[in-house]
């Protein structure tokens, strides 16, 4: 245990990177500014109810799934309490004005068959579209934990098309085109910008099978912490890194807000790249790189409700649900119009350890632009002012009213409501403009919006959702990339595959 990695940020990226390195014999010390580790995995409790802040539904935990294989290799799979969602309906999309409901199954063949039943005239195009989704994922070997080829990878033309263009290429019915973009809230889909390969990776991930954590996602953060500790390292909460000491393009140590200094052989930033820039001495990076980090567009933010339900009132729903006011608005949910917001939202009832017929909690997430809260951006939690509280309550009331379109007398089912705006996301996740998916990937300028794990500081690497892929599967895969930058390309992939074969 002669080498040490200092990791800045104890979110999903930092914890997975630290756990992977620890598994390979590199002592890892993870420094997290918040009191609770986990980032999007972290949960909070209110009146003995657990509420997840981020990871509500997951792909990759089915048999043979990428995330399942990584967690098995790390030795934590058996410690995770995971519920696999009913394959007959993993997602339900409800259109209020037309009264239509679409139930989406998991499994490639079942998916094609069910969507073709809804749109029989598009059956041929639906099959070709799904075949193309799977073909595009084959162009990302890491998605399947396969060895990555050396040198520059060449991709097919459709790989970098806009996601909406890809859908329209195979499907002519505008309603079906819209329906096939129902997972936008899980990857920040933006019309004309989101690359087709991002759309394909997320859709295939969930078509293959969706899962949930029973009693919250914090358990994954705690399991990763145990791997790091067993490897001789540690995860320290309440240790905000304020400075990275750099000399001659080599990182020498980091200093936290408490005045402590940590030194290692490698330094890995899992925070937003702009936060990392504030930590290094001015002039560490070229002006062009700094300008690029400031100019990459952010993904949109969200407004969320965490609802505690009265006993025996709302039946438990074993799938994720999407509410849309009408067709034609799947790609424009971030545009706030006081006349009809929200145009759509995602909602779900998380399972408990002794889940019975009725749900105890309901989580609701509405896409929202940061522009709606920009007037309060200089304020902090608990000190935003009366006008903010009035605005926030109005948002809550609007969402509850539309939940009433789904569940009659829903207001009477509510015990307590806790709400979070884009400002909450900004402050707790430390992301610019409360971006829930970090930087936005843009097919119009893909190289501009993608960042490598390497930096011009030789022993300073990057990881996390702003690098390569985001989400519960994408961030761990980026962690593999970052770890292999230290250990050698395909080192981790081969270890995982060899462990699977043994």
Per-residue pLDDT band at 335 (split at 50, 70, 90): confident
Mean local confidence (pLDDT), 460-486 = 92
Distance (Å, whole) CA 137 – CA 369: 29
Distance (Å, whole) CA 53 – CA 12: 13
Above 70 in pLDDT, residue 245?
Answer: yes
Please, are residues 239 and 32 in contact by the beta-carbon 8 Å criterion?
yes
Per-residue pLDDT band at 502 (split at 50, 70, 90): low
Mean local confidence (pLDDT), 67-96 = 96
Q: What is the rounded radius of gyration, in angstroms, for the C-alpha atoms of the chain?
A: 22
Angle, vertex CA 32, rays to CA 26 and CA 37, nearest 5:
95
10 Å CB burial of residue 411 (0-12, 13-18, 19+) is exposed
Above 70 in pLDDT, residue 474?
Answer: yes
**What pLDDT, on the 0 to 100 scale, is given for residue 144?**
96
Per-residue pLDDT band at 501 (split at 50, 70, 90): low
**What pLDDT, on the 0 to 100 scale, is given for residue 53?**
82
Above 90 in pLDDT, residue 449?
Answer: no
Mean local confidence (pLDDT), 474-493 = 96
Q: What pTM value is reported for the model?
A: 0.95
Q: Where are the beta strands (DSSP E) in 358-435?
A: 361-368, 414-420
Q: For domain 4-74+214-296+439-501, which architecture applies? A: 3-Layer(bba) Sandwich (3.50)
**What pLDDT, on the 0 to 100 scale, is given for residue 483?**
97
Q: Which of 54-58, 77-81, 291-295, 347-351 has the lowest mean pLDDT?
A: 54-58
Q: Which of 361, 336, 327, 78 is nearest to 215 (CA)?
A: 361
Above 60 in pLDDT, residue 51?
Answer: yes
Mean confidence (pLDDT) of the chain: 93
Mean local confidence (pLDDT), 362-379 = 94
Burial 199-223 (b: 16+ CB within 10 A, else e): bbbbbbbbbbbbbbbbbbbbbbbbb
Q: Which helix (H) or strand (E) holds 388?
A: helix 386-406
Q: Which residue has the higher pLDDT, 116 or 150?
A: 116
Q: Which of 32-36, 87-91, 176-180, 379-383 has the lowest mean pLDDT?
A: 379-383
In the chain, which segments carry CATH 3.50.50.60? 4-74+214-296+439-501
Relative to beta strand 266-269, strand 301-309 is unpaired
Distances (CA, A) of 293 to 171, 463, 466: 36, 15, 10
Within 13 Å and on the Cβ side, how many CA atoms surround 303? 27
């Amino acid at each position: 245990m002669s080498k040490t990695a200092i990791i800045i940020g104890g979110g999903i990226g930092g914890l997975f990177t630290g756990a992977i390195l620890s598994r390979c014999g590199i002592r890892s010390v993870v420094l997290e500014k918040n009191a609770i580790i986990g980032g999007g995995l972290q949960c909070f409790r209110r009146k003995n109810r657990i509420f997840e802040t981020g990871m509500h539904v997951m792909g990759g935990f089915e048999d043979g799934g990428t995330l399942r294989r990584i967690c098995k290799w790390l030795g934590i799979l058996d410690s995770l309490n995971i519920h696999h969602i009913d394959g007959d309906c993993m997602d339900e999309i409800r259109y209020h004005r037309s009264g239509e409901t679409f139930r989406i199954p998991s499994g490639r063949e079942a998916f094609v068959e069910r969507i073709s039943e809804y749109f029989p005239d598009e059956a041929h195009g639906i099959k070709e579209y799904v075949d193309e989704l799977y073909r595009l994922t084959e162009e990302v070997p890491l998605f399947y934990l396969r060895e990555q080829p050396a040198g520059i990878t060449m991709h097919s033309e459709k790989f970098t098309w806009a996601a909406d263009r890809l859908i329209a290429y195979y499907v002519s019915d505008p309603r079906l085109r819209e329906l096939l973009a129902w997972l936008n809230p899980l990857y920040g889909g933006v019309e004309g910008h989101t690359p087709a390969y991002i759309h394909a990776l997320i859709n295939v991930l969930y078509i293959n099978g969706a899962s949930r954590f029973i009693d919250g996602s914090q358990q994954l953060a705690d399991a990763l912490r145990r791997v790091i500790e067993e490897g001789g390292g540690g995860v320290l909460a309440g240790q905000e890194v304020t400075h990275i000491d750099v000399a001659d393009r080599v990182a020498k140590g980091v200093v936290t807000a408490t005045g402590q200094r940590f030194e290692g052989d490698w330094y890995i930033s899992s925070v937003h790249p702009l936060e990392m820039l504030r930590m290094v001495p001015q002039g560490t990076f070229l002006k062009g790189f700094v300008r690029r980090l400031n100019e990459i567009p952010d993904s949109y933010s969200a407004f969320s409700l965490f609802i505690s339900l009265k006993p025996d009132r709302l039946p438990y729903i074993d799938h994720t649900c999407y509410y849309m006011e009408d067709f034609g608005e799947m790609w424009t949910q971030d545009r706030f119009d006081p006349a009809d917001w929200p145009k759509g939202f995602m909602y779900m009832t998380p399972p408990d350890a002794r889940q019975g017929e009725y749900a105890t909690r309901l989580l609701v997430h509405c896409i929202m632009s940061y522009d709606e809260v920009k007037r309060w951006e200089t304020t902090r939690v608990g000190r935003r002012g009366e006008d903010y509280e009035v605005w926030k309550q109005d948002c809550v009331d609007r969402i509850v009213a539309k939940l009433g379109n789904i569940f009659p007398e829903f207001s009477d089912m509510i015990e307590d409501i806790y709400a979070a705006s884009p400002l909450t996301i900004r402050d707790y996740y430390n992301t610019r403009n409360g971006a829930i998916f970090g930087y936005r990937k843009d097919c119009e300028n893909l190289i501009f919006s993608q960042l490598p794990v390497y930096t011009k500081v030789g022993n300073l690497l990057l990881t996390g959702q702003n690098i390569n892929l985001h989400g519960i599967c994408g961030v761990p895969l980026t962690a593999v990339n970052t770890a292999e930058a230290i250990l050698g390309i395909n080192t981790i992939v081969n270890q995982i595959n060899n462990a699977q074969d043994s």
